[in-house]
Chain A
């Protein structure tokens, strides 16, 4: 649980610079500071990606407390919200991602 989001973010950003274009899965997680819900969501997401996307993914963390203007772009109301930018179409999943089944459905990894 004690994941440092900021650290993870920077790591991911490095990875993103390396092969952002190539990854099949482009995900963006909106959080608001390091609240328990946000930390849970990040941990759940990380785990889920490893299990189901086989490393072919890119996670971008957006902290709205630091970048409040970004809330408008993806019409973010709920926190945490996960946005699947790629593959198209764009999908939105809200909540701390603890219900893995629903996350998989939301990401179209499972049939609805």
Chain B
């Protein structure tokens, strides 16, 4: 915020006195104008006195500036008692001369006016008190009481004008409180005199829910946030919450955090959410939103990170018990101080107060993971627009701090329309749906969007068991998308089909083997026959050759015989 009100270079800048009030110094860029009076106006019970008292206490304790509280309504004891509940020990500060309380009682009934006068007595008293503790800060609460006590308003007005000038001359940083008047900032028009800085406190009740708000109406010579800021008064004092969306300049982390459900991590690019991202988890009643949230919390606590859980429907022990039933022992994280629950009914406060409280809890606990369960309940207290505005601020705040946030959202059957219209604020949107078929309800989970990662487009069946949440691939086959029993039946049927198929193949294979055997046998037989035949043929051929050679021999013999006789004869004849 300091950057937002960056100072103009080289120009003298209005000096500011930090109030030390949480958030207030941020919206005013450093506090109230130093050395000048500031008007704090508001109706009865708005916290004017507390605001100004805290200004003094913080000034004394944090900035070593002694303060004077001049009260026109309550005496010292009453004041000390009133702020003791906020943890301010006024008596100790008084003892250390850092605080001086001065009760001015002014009642008209005792006063008779007999001529000209001025309020020099008040000036002297104020001056004396300032000198006693060397006060740098002064509160006049509420000086309007003088209007009831002083018979002559003209004198009073001119004296007040002189008083504020005098305060400026003394160089003290002053707060003047005033009752809010009809149609004006103050009942007696004090804003006419105190013109440097005007702060309006408001306590509004809308539909039986009250919200405290603060607005800087005017701040001469300084930029300031002009919105109405909710503020809180609780045991640690006053805090203003500068929860407007100033800009979208948070650092985007590339670090990933596990969702605590391995299969869900797989769906989200295999790594889970981005750290510091905002996750919307919407689903119908009983779809297991809290269980998914609990897994995220459990995973974070395992990593040793702090988690803050804001349940709006269940108490801490109820959540712990229920999560134990799905095997998540969150109790140990609570006892180790890693997990903190802040259950609250939505109707307990207004939206702004809820936001303010969350803001404070988050600032104090400094968690890495925040769960808001469910965010839709907040719409019950405000209009959709208000709820959206509040969530925008919450999301911005969480992002600026790098906190991973999970918002659950209860949706009706038409789940893709988020009630608050917040989906556009979210980085990741998970949807849990009840898939109804065959007389069963089964949970299906899918990632509707997830910025900056390649996420799965599949619907997974989401199962809660005593060992936590699991995601299963849904059955997508010839029979369509099936879940639950139907999926199991179909899977069994598929298994049977596969088995049958396998048997058939085996049978066919065996048949073929048989055929082959038969074929081979036949071949062997044929071959045998062939062999036999061919051997017979060989024998025939051999026989034939033998016969032929015998014939030839015999013929030769015959020839020899015939020619032998001749030769013999010839021989004889010669």
> How far, in Å, is A52 (CB) from chain B's closest CB?
14
Task: Pick out which of these stretches binds chain A: B40-48, B84-92, B108-116, B409-417.
Answer: B108-116
- B270 on the A face (CB < 8 A): no
- For A73-109 the 0/1 string (1 means CB < 8 A from B) is 0011111111000000011111111110011011000
A32 partner, pick from B124, B149, B150, beta carbons under 8 A: B124
Tell me if B117 and A78 are in contact (CB < 8 A).
Answer: yes
B508 at the interface (CB under 8 A from A): no
B125 touches A72 (CB 8 A): yes
Task: Verify B115–A96 contact, CB threshold 8 A.
Answer: yes
Q: A32-B120, A64-B120, A68-B125 are in contact. Are A97 and B114 (CB under 8 A)?
A: yes
A77 CA / B102 CA spacing, docked (Å): 13
B112-A77 in contact (CB<8A)? no
B120 & A95 in contact (Cβ 8 Å cutoff): no
Q: In whole angstroms, how far apart are the Cα atoms of A76 and B119 in the complex?
A: 9
Shortest Cβ distance from residue B410 to the other chain A in the assembled complex, whole angstroms? 61
CB-nearest residue of chain A to B112: A106
Which residues from A are CB-within-8-Å of B146? 77
Chain A residues in the interface with B (C-beta under 8 A): 30, 32, 35, 37, 40-41, 44, 64-65, 68-69, 71-72, 75-82, 90-99, 102-103, 105-106
Which residues of chain B from 146 to 168 have any CB-CB distance to chain A below 8 Å in the complex?
Answer: 146, 149-150
Residues of B within 8 A of A94 (CB): 111-114, 117
Of B110, B115, B121, B127, which contacts A30 at CB under 8 A?
Answer: B121
What residues on B are CB-neighbors of A64 within 8 Å? 120-121, 124-125
Instruction: Determine the chain B residues whose CB is within 8 A of the CB of A35 once the complex forms.
Output: 120
Whether, in the assembled complex, B118 has its beta carbon less than 8 Å from a beta carbon of chain A, the answer is yes
Contact B121 A37 (CB under 8 A): no
The answer to whether B116 and A95 have CB atoms under 8 Å apart is yes
Cβ–Cβ contact A95 & B115, under 8 A: yes
How far, in whole Å, are A71 and B128 apart by their CA atoms in the complex? Answer: 9
Contacts of A79 in B (CB 8 A): 117-121, 124
- Report Cα–Cα, A35/B118, bound state, in Å: 11
Asked if B115 contacts A98 (CB within 8 A), the reply is yes
**Shortest distance from the beta carbon of B455 to any chain A beta carbon, whole Å:** 73
Within the assembled complex, what's the spacing in Å between the Cα atoms of A105 and B112? 8
- Closest beta carbon of chain B to A81's beta carbon, Å: 7
In the bound complex, do residue B115 and residue A78 qualify as a contact, i.e. CB atoms below 8 Å apart? no
The distance in angstroms between the C-alpha atoms of A80 and B115, with both chains bound, is 9
**What B residues does A92 contact at CB under 8 A?**
110-112
Can you give 16 A-B contacts (C-beta < 8 A)?
A: A65-B124, A68-B124, A72-B125, A75-B105, A75-B106, A76-B121, A76-B125, A77-B104, A77-B122, A77-B125, A77-B150, A91-B112, A93-B111, A94-B117, A95-B114, A105-B112
Closest CB-CB distance, A75 to chain B, in whole Å?
A: 5
Question: Could you tell me the distance between the alpha carbons of A71 and B121 in the complex, rounded to whole angstroms?
Answer: 7
In the bound complex, residues from chain A placing their C-beta under 8 Å from that of B149 are 77
Known contacts A65-B124, A71-B125; decide if A78 and B119 are in contact (CB<8 Å). yes
Q: Is the interface of B mostly helix, strand, loop or mixed?
A: mixed
A32 adjacent to B115 (CB under 8 Å): no
Contacts of B120 in A (CB 8 A): 32, 35, 64, 78-79
Q: A64-B120, A75-B104, A75-B105 are in contact. Are A98 and B114 (CB under 8 A)?
A: yes
Residues of chain A lying within 8 A (CB to CB) of residue B112: 91-94, 102-103, 105-106
Contact call A78/B102, Cβ cutoff below 8 A: no
Chain A residues positioned under 8 Å from B125 (CB to CB):
64, 68, 71-72, 76-77
Chain B residues in 8 Å Cβ range of A81: 117, 121
| Bound CA span A44–B125, Å | 25
Q: Which residues of A contact B114 (CB under 8 A)?
A: 82, 93-99, 102-103, 106
- Listed residue (B111, B113, B120, B146) with the most chain A CB atoms within 10 angstroms of its CB: B120
Q: Smallest CB-CB separation from B131: which chain A residue?
A: A68
Q: Given known contacts A75-B106, A78-B150, is B124 in contact with A99 (CB within 8 Å)?
A: no
CB nearest to B107 among chain A residues: A75
Q: What 3 pairs between A and B have smallest CB-CB spacing?
A: A106-B112, A95-B115, A68-B128
Residue of A nearest to B128 (CB): A68
In the bound complex, CA of A86 to CA of B110 (Å): 15
Cα distance A92–B150 when bound, in Å? 12
| Residue among A37, A69, A80, A95 with the highest chain B CB neighbour number at 10 A | A95
A68 touches B127 (CB 8 A): yes
CB distance from A38 to the nearest CB of B (A): 9
| Nearest-CB residue, chain B, relative to A36 | B116
In the complex, A15 Cα to B104 Cα: how many Å?
Answer: 32
Chain A residue at smallest Cβ distance from B110: A92
Contacts of A99 in B (CB 8 A): 114-115
* Alpha-carbon distance A37/B112, docked complex (angstroms): 16
Instruction: Determine whether the beta carbon of A37 is less than 8 Å from that of B119.
Output: no
B116 touches A78 (CB 8 A): no
- Among residues of B, the one whose C-beta sits closest to the C-beta of A74 is B121
Pick from A72, A93, A98, A103: contact of B116, CB below 8 A. A98
A91 to B114: give the CA distance in the assembly, Å.
13
Residue of A nearest to B151 (CB): A94
Shortest beta-carbon distance from B347 to chain A in Å? 47
Please, how many angstroms separate the alpha-carbon atoms of A92 and B121 in the complex? 14
The chain A residue sitting closest to B132, CB to CB, is: A69
* Chain B 71-109 interface residues, beta-carbon cutoff 8 Å to A: 102, 104-106
CA distance A71 to B120 in the complex (A): 10
